[in-house]
Amino acid sequence: MKELKDLTVETLCVQGGYQPKNGEPRILPIFQSTTYKYDDADEVAALFDLEKDGHMYSRISNPTVNAFEEKIAQMEGGVGALATSSGQAATLLAILTICSAGEHIVAMNNLYGGTYTLIGSTLEKFGIKTTFVHLNNVEELENAIQDNTKLIFSETIGNPGVDVLDIELVANVAHKNNIPLIVDNTFATPYLCRAFDFGADIITHSTTKFLDGHATSVGGIIVDSGKFNWNNGKFSCLTDKDPNYHGLSYTETFKEQAYITKARVVFMRDLGTTMSPFNAFLTNLGVETLALRMDKHSTNALKVAKYLEKQEKVDWVNYPLLEENKNYELSKKYLSKGASGIISFGVKGGTEETKKWINNLKLTTLVVHVGDIRTHALHPASMTHRQLSEEAQIEAGILPNMVRLSVGIENVDEIIEDLDQAFKKI
């Protein structure tokens, strides 16, 4: 039998993470406890000093949450993971772990609206500056990197434009400059794309989307590949002695887990953006069927995209695995199993026709969500990307007639029937 880490993602969805011992519950238990009992005061002191592994308080770690973290780390092929209260918290902690006031980030400009405002506006107020560049544009990327740049941030598949990151290309630029590539892998999930295999160093997810899959729990996770060399003179935050922990150096003490350990014992400790055990339980349950769902989401979405291409009231369609699509070659390389469930397309006309089409949908519902088993539609320009200026929207590819369609796992003919009857009404 292969070792756990050598199993396919398909098997790890089901069998990864929690490993019951003899006589223990077969299903991951919910340890709904804030705290843990010890017999010896010195043992608790050792936990505080990070000299010993163990749980002491559920803001920092919890057995149910840990089992979920382990499963996702195994699926992504990383050395450790940290679950968070939301995808936003995952992005925030992933950045703060290696970037502080006076330092700089380079990010692609086609990011999820919430990430765009977090990086471009809120972190700016914390003294972290960001330069946004066009996706996969090496020249812009190289020009944007400064001496104080600490990381490059991108999404594997952009939300909502669904353009595909050339992971290898961008990782090479990052590594030439001794900085890591952080990839938000929310839309692809580890089932469709293992970004570490192509050179990404850190992965984040909004687990709220496909990983949960049933729209029950807001959550996020950060996964560490363990492969980035922090000892290159640029990351004193991980190599130097931390007076908060009696002068330990994260790279010396935790080796390849330096980054993910610091994220937990400093930023999770201080900011408290913890995933609850119940949400970890529900999300873990969702992940058990991830492979099945992603196959169905992807085949349904490809059929819907082909229908939209032929629908006369549709202006344009973007789905990475359409043969005519600008992302097709990259998708063949990075998304060979499928391109996930999200399609972006334009309704002929403008904002009014687009909203009218959405208002006429029946089976498909208008919700602010993606990656659910149910089919959903949303108008990014007036909803998720509303906070961006019109200029920034156009720059990020958010056109006024854009629809973000999250194709569910229902019968695909019935999904198409619904879209079609709504087109007949505009």
Ligand X SMILES: *Cc1c(COP(=O)(O)O)cnc(C)c1O
Residues that bind ligand X (CB under 6 A): 86-88, 112, 114-115, 155, 159, 184, 186, 206, 208-209, 218, 220, 370
DSSP state of 362: S
Closest approach, Cβ 157 to ligand X, in A, equals 8
Closest approach, Cβ 222 to ligand X, in A, equals 12
Q: Of 204 and 251, which CB lies nearer to ligand X in the complex structure?
A: 204
Helix H or strand E segment including 414: helix 412-424
Q: Of 70 and 184, which CB lies nearer to ligand X in the complex structure?
A: 184
Q: Of 388 and 416, which CB lies nearer to ligand X in the complex structure?
A: 388
Q: Of 177 and 279, which CB lies nearer to ligand X in the complex structure?
A: 279
Q: Of 64 and 204, which CB lies nearer to ligand X in the complex structure?
A: 204
Is residue 135 a contact partner of residue 158, using CB atoms and an 8 Å limit? Answer: yes
Closest approach, Cβ 213 to ligand X, in A, equals 13
Closest approach, Cβ 160 to ligand X, in A, equals 8
Rounded distance, CA 256 to CA 264, Å?
15
Closest approach, Cβ 218 to ligand X, in A, equals 5
Q: Of 77 and 114, which CB lies nearer to ligand X in the complex structure?
A: 114
Is residue 267 a contact partner of residue 93, using CB atoms and an 8 Å limit? Answer: yes
Alpha helices, DSSP H, located in 61-183: 63-76, 87-96, 113-117, 123-125, 138-144, 167-176
Q: Which residue is nearest to ligand X, using beta carbons?
A: 87
Q: What is the CA radius of gyration of the chain?
A: 22
CB atoms within 10 A of CB 30: 17
Q: Which residues have a Cβ under 8 Å from the Cβ of 326 and sit 6 or more positions away?
A: 163
Closest approach, Cβ 69 to ligand X, in A, equals 16
Rounded distance, CA 190 to CA 168, Å?
16
The closest alpha carbon to 280, from 69, 41, 21, 128, belongs to 69
